[in-house]
Amino acid sequence: MLHSLHHISGFEATCRCAQPDAASSWLATTQLGTFWDSLREGLAACRQYEHLRSSGIPHDAAIREALGFGAGPAQARRHETKSLYFAGRA
């Protein structure tokens, strides 16, 4: 019995030495906070995408809007061409 108690106290001493310091705890907390922020943003984008799709918006436009990518390549070219057309008439 005393022999097994000796090993337990040695194990506890090993565990106490392996405890993380304050810097690594802060890093883990920061990373966990970043993870939750990313998860929340992803869920918000998913909700916005589903709302746009239920409103009749096509997939490509809805996903670009939900993820914040802006107009598609064809729409961007159309706006550039239009602005160049009106540039000479000002």
pLDDT in tens, 44-78: 999 999 999 999 999 999 999 999 987 655 555 55
In-domain check, residue 7? no
The reply to whether 53 falls in a domain is yes
Q: What is the pTM of this model?
A: 0.52
pLDDT tens digit sequence for 32-46: 999 999 999 999 999
CB-CB contact of 66 with 51 (8 Å): no
| 5 vs 26 pLDDT, higher one | 26
Taking CA 62 as the corner, what is the angle to CA 57 and CA 66, rounded to the nearest 5 degrees?
Answer: 145
Domain membership flag for residue 66: yes
Whether 88 is covered by a domain: the verdict is yes
> What is the number of domains present in the chain?
1
Print the domain residue range for 49: 40-90
